[in-house]
Amino acid sequence: MATTELEIKNLTHFYDGQKILNIPYLPVQAKECLVIFGPNGAGKSTLLRIASLLEKPSQGEIYHRGVLVPLPAPLSLRRRLVHLLDRPLFFRGPVRDNLLYGLKIRGIGHKEQQKRLAEISAQFKLEPYLERQPDELSAGEKQRVNLARAFILQPDILFLDEPLANLDVRTREEILVEFKQIRKEKGQTALLVTHNREEAAYLADRMAVLVNGEIVQSGKPEEVFASPATVEVAHLMGQETLVEGTVVGQEKGLLKVALANHFLYTLGTCSPGEKVTVIFRPEEVILAPEKPESSVRNWFHGLITEIKALDKLVLVSLDCGFKLKAYLSRPALEELKVSVGRKFWAGVKATSLSIKPFKDGPQNETTQLKRIL
Amino acid sequence: MVSFSEIWPIIRLTLIVSGLSTFIAFILALPAAFFLYLNQFPGRKLILSLIHTGMGLPPVVVGLFVALFLWRSGPLGSLNLMYTPAAIVIAQVILAWPIIAGLSLSALEQVDPALLIQAKALGASPTQLLWTLFCEARLGQISGIIAAFGAVISEVGAVLMVGGNLKGHTRVLTTAILQETRLGHFRLALILALTLIIISFAINWCLTSWQQKGINRWRQPSWK
């Protein structure tokens, strides 16, 4: 059974008299990578500073391996947690000195320092850079040195604040893979904050969505992406289409929902007359020039209004009486001859839709606590 | 013919008083610079302005005030320091202190505050944080030492006023040059002047080498 490395309980934090964090309970399990995901200004970095014992919360308790941490935290305990800021900052001197900084201030012996340096340099492929100045390194190399100087300390928990925010796509992907692999190998517990969906999805064993200082949902990333707890989380998870509707009733085991000028079928247990928000995920929407014979239950005829080229896919917007979006691959776009102004059929399986009660907002503390526990 | 034994006591005293006053000023200025860097309080701007004014303080004014304090009837007259090497050191510390404090503070202010947060987040204790800050601002602090040493070794007004240029007792290179020029001993004055320049250059060479080594290691262009 997984042990709990860190627990945050009844945390409230104020800044300039304004409550910016309100977290009843947040555990970090041993060897997991917990990702705090949220928009800018949600309080992610403050939460990370509090969790890493760098900042004292206005109220609340922090438990380290089940023991209540006195705040401000003693240095001996602070040294068991390592926090990397949102950009790599280096001390004067070569990479070697920077890697050894944390070991030296902990009074670790020379022999052990050299042993750990050799090990970590090999893991992060830093041997050629040890005598170079950090200023001479590329952004990706700098970030690798930054991560290595945290791993070399073998902390109980590693705290990372948007570690890959300033990197180009290719470097970020390389470091993501490297970080995940080394973290898994070492069984390093990590708490990471990010506003990048792909980063969160790739790295997280578990993720917690922070909105306006409150954790509105937590769970495995695939659960959070597939079934966002609120409309706001759905937006954050990239669910491009949210449509309001009213539940009409049940039909053949499916819930029938009336939209502005359509009916749609989905799974759910809402009562007739209840107002709901239907969440369409663009990757689940199929496009066809003619309505095909298929098991797909929901078909909408709409005019293509916009085609937006993305990194690897294309996002097609349709006006079906409501706005609907679908991802297409580039070959599919050409084959289907999709263009702005043409009418297409958009299909969505009943099982691919999710619905939320229309009256939305962060759940109360008891609901949050139950969900997290 | 001028013998080395004749000028050696002057060189030795010059090195002792200038070195000692720069060292004492550094020891006193560094905590002040750290305090001003780490604290915000009413009157801080006034103190900064006074330090910056002190960086250009006329030596004769310093000499006058030190003389007033050390004069037999002055507040510190009982110490009998007037016309002693100690009086010269006091005057030179007053001249060097604002230079080192001002330049050290500028150097500290150039250190990215986030770097200190990162040091703390890597586990540095408060003392280790101060040491890290000191190391990061080392280049500017060496500049302060260079500037202060240059100012005190070449200074003549205050030294003459509080030291008195007593042969074998308080005569330093600058006051000796002045004395020999007045007496028309231009050859000796030139030898002393040359000696002063060589000493000043040698010490500054050492300090500058140390400083430039730091700069070269620190500021490699990233495009290289």
The ipTM (two decimal places) reads 0.77
Q: What pLDDT band is residue A294 in, cutting at 50, 70 and 90? A: confident
Q: Where are the alpha helices (DSSP H) in chain B?
A: 4-38, 44-54, 59-70, 85-109, 113-121, 126-136, 138-153, 157-163, 173-182, 186-218
Q: What is the mean pLDDT of residues B124-139?
A: 92
Q: Tell whether B110 is within 8 A of chain A (Cβ).
A: no
Residue A193 predicted with pLDDT over 90: yes
Q: What is the mean pLDDT of residues A198-220?
A: 93
Q: What pLDDT band is residue A191 in, cutting at 50, 70 and 90? A: very high
Q: What pLDDT band is residue A14 in, cutting at 50, 70 and 90? A: very high
Tell me what percent of the residues of chain B surpass a pLDDT of 70. Answer: 94
Tell me what percent of the residues of chain B surpass a pLDDT of 90. Answer: 76
Question: What residue type is assigned to position A233 of the chain?
Answer: V
pLDDT at position A19, please?
A: 92
- With beta carbons under 8 A apart, name residues in chain B contacting A106: 123
How confident is the model over B8-60, as pLDDT tens digits? Answer: 999 999 999 999 999 999 999 999 999 999 999 999 999 999 999 999 889 99
Task: Quote the minimal CA–CA distance from B207 to chain A in Å.
Answer: 18
Of B112, B122, B214, the CB nearest to A101: B122
DSSP letter at A73 equals: P
Task: Quote the minimal CA–CA distance from B111 to chain A in Å.
Answer: 10
Residue B6 predicted with pLDDT over 90: no
- With beta carbons under 8 A apart, name residues in chain A contacting B124: 105
Residue A361 predicted with pLDDT over 50: no
What is residue A194's three-state secondary structure? strand
Q: What is the mean pLDDT of residues A152-159?
A: 96
Distance of CA A339 to the CA centre of its chain: 33
Task: Quote the minimal CA–CA distance from A173 to chain B in Å.
Answer: 23
User: 143-172 in A: which are within 8 Å (CB) of B?
Assistant: 149-150, 153, 159
Q: What is the mean pLDDT of residues A87-107?
A: 93
Q: What pLDDT band is residue B7 in, cutting at 50, 70 and 90? A: confident
Question: By CB neighbour count within 10 A (0-12 exposed, 13-18 middle, 19+ buried), where does B122 fall?
Answer: buried
User: 45-74 in A: which are within 8 Å (CB) of B?
Assistant: 52, 54
- With beta carbons under 8 A apart, name residues in chain A contacting B120: 54
How confident is the model over A61-92, as pLDDT tens digits? Answer: 999 999 999 988 999 999 999 999 988 999 98
pLDDT at position A234, please?
A: 82
CA distance B73 to A253: 108
pLDDT at position A364, please?
A: 37
Of residues A23 and A373, more confidently modeled: A23
How confident is the model over A221-256, as pLDDT tens digits? Answer: 988 887 788 878 888 887 767 888 888 888 888 888
Q: What is the mean pLDDT of chain B?
A: 90
Residue A362 predicted with pLDDT over 90: no
What is residue A237's three-state secondary structure? coil
Q: What is the mean pLDDT of residues A203-208?
A: 94
Dihedral of alpha carbons B34, B38, B39, B45, sign: positive
Tell me what percent of the residues of chain A surpass a pLDDT of 70. Answer: 95
DSSP letter at A338 equals: -
Q: CB–CB of B100/B29 below 8 Å?
A: yes
Residue A356, number of CB atoms within 10 A of its CB: 21
Say whether A92 and B217 touch across the interface (CB within 8 A): yes
Of A75, A83, A133, the CB nearest to B121: A83
Pseudo-torsion of CA A232, A22, A43, A8, nearest 10°?
A: -120
Q: CB–CB of A337/A288 below 8 Å?
A: no
- With beta carbons under 8 A apart, name residues in chain B contacting A92: 135-136, 138, 214, 217-218
Q: What is the mean pLDDT of chain A?
A: 88
Contacts of B221 (CB under 8 A, 6+ apart): A135
Say whether B218 and A52 touch across the interface (CB within 8 A): no
Q: Tell whether B212 is within 8 A of chain A (Cβ).
A: no
pLDDT at position B157, please?
A: 92
Q: Tell whether A184 is within 8 A of chain B (Cβ).
A: no
CA distance A137 to A218: 37
Residue in B118, B127, B212 to test binding to A, most A beta-carbons within 10 Å = B118
What is residue A263's three-state secondary structure? strand
Task: Quote the minimal CA–CA distance from B135 to chain A in Å.
Answer: 8
pLDDT at position B1, please?
A: 56
Nearest to A219 by CA among A234, A235, A208: A208
Q: What pLDDT band is residue A150 in, cutting at 50, 70 and 90? A: very high
Nearest to A158 by CA among B124, B117, B114, B123: B123
CA distance A152 to A101: 10
Q: Tell whether B116 is within 8 A of chain A (Cβ).
A: no
Partnered with residue A249 across adjacent β-strands are A256
